[in-house]
Amino acid sequence: MKLLIRMNYVLLVILFLIISCSSQQDKYTKARNEMVKEQIEDRGIRNKPTLDAMKKVPRHKFVPPNNIDKAYNDSPLPIGYGQTISQPYIVAYMTEVIDPKPGQKVLEIGTGSGYQAAVLAEIVDSVYTIEIITELYNSSEKRLKELGYKNVICKNADGYYGWKQAAPFDAIVVTAAAEHIPPPLIEQLKDGGKMIIPVGSPFLNQTLILVEKNGKEITTTSLLPVRFVPFTRGD
Ligand code: SAH
């Protein structure tokens, strides 16, 4: 009899744990779907792979624990070392502009939390991502591995020089504001490839620029005023 009561108790505890775990899950899924609808679709993003990827990637796992409740807010958030995870809309916008497709290879400069890399990895074949701050490189590489993103390859280096051994890339996404477009990145873009990069003074006026390469012709188009953390340089 006593054993039976104890077993019932254990079953109840297990049931409680399952229910509270899945309601946590539901809470984040709901917040994520609302984020995509209200902050992204309602502002005009229509690219289906981008919307699907952003509905899938668990953004709350890319922010520090003290900010987890703000993970789906309409804003960037601090990730330590003076850096930020970009606002969801900006991640969606940059992803839509490069129009990523299955089978492609993309380079990202500024891994940060790894969130933009994960969004891209949901769509393309492989994502090469470079982070200059060693601590952020370590934590994002670990996070991406734990979340099962086997198609993201991380490197701790100055992204100004790109990733020559893995070039050329179908697209390049730069998530820190540079004062000029690094020539090695233009070189490493495929013919017909697209790069999106914030260009401007640190913490001041910056513009998201689309760079397109067609043969020897390079065209640039100014898209949107933005504010990104600065593109820093290694020694
Ligand atoms: N894409 C990130 C946002 C990162 S913020 C995310 O989804 O979370 C920009 C990042 O660029 C910072 O982590 C910063 O350390 C990094 N960074 C700045 N200059 C860099 C450089 N020259 N090479 C590589 N990373 C750089």
In three-state secondary structure terms, 113 is coil
Helix (H) or strand (E) holding 170, with range, is strand 169-174
Task: List, for residues 85-118, the tens digit of each pLDDT value.
Answer: 999 999 999 999 999 999 999 999 999 999 999 9
Q: Whose CA is nearest to atom 11 of ligand 1?
A: 110
Q: Which two tokens stand for residue 2?
A: 């006593």
Q: Which of 23, 86, 113, 140 is catalytic?
A: 86
Q: Please say if 22 is a catalytic residue.
A: no
Q: Is there a contact between 168 and 160 (Cβ–Cβ < 8 Å)?
A: no
The pLDDT value given to residue 9:
74
Helix (H) or strand (E) holding 191, with range, is strand 189-200
Residue type at position 191 = D
Phi, psi of 70, deg, nearest 5: -100, 5
Q: Which two tokens stand for residue 159?
A: 């992204």
Q: Whose CA is nearest to atom 4 of ligand 1?
A: 112
Which residue bears the tokens 């958030």? 77
Q: Whose CA is nearest to atom 17 of ligand 1?
A: 110
Best probe residue, ligand 1, of 122, 139, 156, 231 (max atoms within 8 Å of C-beta)? 231
Residue 222 pLDDT class (50, 70, 90 cuts): very high
Task: List, for residues 137-191, the tens digit of each pLDDT value.
Answer: 999 999 999 999 999 999 999 999 999 999 999 999 999 999 999 999 999 999 9
Q: Is there a contact between 127 and 194 (Cβ–Cβ < 8 Å)?
A: no
The pLDDT value given to residue 8:
77
Q: Is there a contact between 149 and 140 (Cβ–Cβ < 8 Å)?
A: no
pTM of the model: 0.92
Atom of ligand 1 nearest to the CA of 136: 13
Q: Where are the alpha helices (DSSP H) in the chain?
A: 2-34, 48-56, 88-98, 115-121, 134-146, 183-187
Which residue bears the tokens 């401007």? 200
Between residues 27 and 86, the one the model is more confident about: 86
- In the chain the domains, ranked by start, together with CATH numbers, are 33-226 (3.40.50.150)
Dihedral angle at the C-alpha atoms of 146, 31, 82, 50, nearest 10 degrees?
Answer: 70
User: Is any atom of ligand 1 closer than 6 Å to the C-beta of 206?
Assistant: no
Q: Is there a contact between 183 and 120 (Cβ–Cβ < 8 Å)?
A: no
Residue 75 has pLDDT above 70, yes or no: yes
Taking the CB of residue 159, how many other CB atoms lie within 10 A of it? 28
Closest CA to 78 of 89, 88, 66, 90: 66
206-214 vs 189-200, strand pairing mode? antiparallel
